[in-house]
Amino acid sequence: MIVALNNKCHFTKNEFALYKEQLKNLHHEDTKIILFPSNIYLSNNIEGILMGSQNVSAYGTGSYTGEVSAEQLKALGVKYSLVGHSERRNLFCETSQDANRKITQLLDNDITPILCVGENEKTKVASDVIINDLKETFTNLTPENIKKIIIAYEPTWSIGTGIIPSGQEIKAVVNHIKEYYPNNLILYGGSVNDENIETLDKENVVDGYLIGALSLRLDKIQLLINKIEK
Ligand code: PGA
């Protein structure tokens, strides 16, 4: 199981130093923990934890002020990168074409993209919206490369709201994605916490979870991991 911790834009230098110490004490056995901190903390090496970037430039290294390239991330030892998180799509107007370019940059640098997709409003046609988005994002990628991408199903209406789809609803969407992309790992994200994890995990359809708000509370993350590993 993968537990991906998306810190978003949180933690000052001293707060992160404390968080890092707590992270070292996190007990986990076969769960793969990937930390997505602010870029400024990506050079930290934390034993037992893999590093991921919350974003990557759609361009290579060069005259792109404010950007961080996949090549730079690779040199830091970053193994994963989120692409197309709903906050990037909604606040920074990122499109599927941007996601496509970012994925290409990442794959060229041996970094695994975690592509976030999800419907904006609770709708019965969620699966179709998602499949269309995936098809558009994967334009011109080889089947070999498509397989390397981890898909994170994150209904936008569930992110940071405390409202989650039922296990059955998640299962329906995930199974629909698997009909088209049977070889990709799939995560669920959106208001996952140490209480609802049991219900979610019971369905046993996803390969892990992408966690935002709760990632800031490692005491709660420990409880969540204990439940997953039980
Ligand atoms: P949340 O965020 O866990 O706070 O809902 C998930 C995400 O944004 O990936």
Task: Pick the residue whose CA is nearest to atom 2 on ligand 1.
Answer: 212
Share of the chain above pLDDT 90, in %: 90
Helix ranges, 6-62 (H): 13-24
Whether ligand 1 lies within 6 angstroms of the CB of 212 is answered as yes
Residue 71 annotated as catalytic: no
The tokens for 128 are 């179709």
The minimum-distance atom of ligand 1 relative to the CA of 6 is 9
Out of 67, 85, 198, 229, pick the active-site residue: 85
Whether ligand 1 lies within 6 angstroms of the CB of 213 is answered as yes
DSSP helix/strand/coil, 47 = coil
What pLDDT digit, counting tens, does each position of 123-133 carry?
767 788 899 99
DSSP line for 192-219: --TTTHHHHHHT---SEEEESGGGG-HH
Instruction: Provide the pLDDT for residue 124.
Output: 65
Task: Pick the residue whose CA is nearest to atom 6 on ligand 1.
Answer: 212
Helix ranges, 25-166 (H): 70-76, 86-91, 96-108, 126-137, 143-146
The minimum-distance atom of ligand 1 relative to the CA of 211 is 3
Does this model's pTM top 0.85? My answer is: yes
Residue 154 annotated as catalytic: yes
In Å, how far are 41, 47, 146, 161, 223 from 219, measured between CA atoms?
Answer: 21, 18, 35, 21, 7
What pLDDT digit, counting tens, does each position of 191-217 carry?
999 999 999 888 889 999 999 999 999
